[in-house]
Structures are given as C-alpha cells and as structure tokens.
C-alpha cells in the first residue's frame, strides 16, 4: 500500500431520528445513528443499542408484543444516541481536556467521567450512583 491508496473519507453527520424502524423491524448501530470518530463512540453506542434491544425483547411476553418492545427500544436509545453524536461531533472535543485532566485529582476525574458516561449510557444509568476513584 502506498500513500496514494489512502483516501480521506468525510464523515457525514445527520440528526438522529426518533424512530428507527416500523412494525417488527428496526435497526441499530450506524444504521440508526452515525457517530463521528472523534470520541470513538460508534462501537460503544452499537453495544448500548444491542443491550437495550435485548432487554426490551426479554421483557416481551410474546410475539404479539414485539412491535411495542421495538418502539420502547428506539425511544429509550434515540435521545442518548443523539446526545452522544452531538457531543462527539466537534473535532475540538478533546483539544484542551488532556492538559486539564492532568491537573485534576483522581477522585474528581473519576466522578467526572462517570457522570458524563451516565448521560449517554443506558447501561450505566441503571447502575449504582456512587463510584470509587480509579487510579491513572
């Protein structure tokens, strides 16, 4: 491979739709919401989608309830996926943070990251509200 073989592929952003499917069909991951590469959230958000979709289907009593389960999954994920896409969008997301974080105590930094993740993570939002400091 030579440098000429590598091309720049622009990332196309779009507003995350509230509805991702219809009836007994839905999508997840990049098919539902593209994520800019800035904060490496594409795979993370797809896993969140899968986790939430599995939980919604697990609580469904029978085949007749599948459309409602899919609607619940879409509604519970669309807001968080949209928030993540908006936060990851600007290329300046991590421009000054590394310098600031080196000056912060570990306990404060752990609290910051945990609160930020709870805003975009369905999994963490249901978890314990207290965290223990993580050493760097």
pLDDT, tens only, 4-53: 555 555 556 677 888 899 999 999 988 888 887 767 788 889 999 999 99
Query: What percent of the chain is predicted at pLDDT more than 90?
Result: 26
Assigned token pair, 75: 């509604």
For residues 66 and 124, the model is more confident at 66
pTM for this prediction: 0.61
Q: If DSSP codes are grouped into helix, strand and coil, which group holds residue 25?
A: strand
């Amino acid at each position: 491979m030579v440098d000429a073989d590598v091309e720049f592929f622009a990332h196309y952003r779009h507003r995350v739709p509230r509805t991702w499917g219809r009836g007994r069909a839905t999508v997840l991951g990049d098919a539902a919401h593209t994520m800019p590469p800035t904060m490496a959230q594409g795979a993370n958000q797809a896993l969140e989608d899968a986790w939430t979709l599995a939980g919604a289907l697990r609580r469904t009593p029978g085949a007749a309830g599948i459309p409602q389960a899919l609607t619940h999954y879409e509604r519970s994920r669309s807001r968080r996926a949209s928030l993540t896409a908006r936060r990851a969008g600007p290329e300046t997301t991590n421009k000054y943070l590394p310098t600031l974080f080196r000056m912060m105590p570990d306990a404060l930094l752990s609290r910051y990251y945990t609160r930020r993740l709870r805003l975009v993570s369905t999994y963490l939002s249901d978890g314990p509200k207290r965290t223990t400091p993580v050493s760097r």
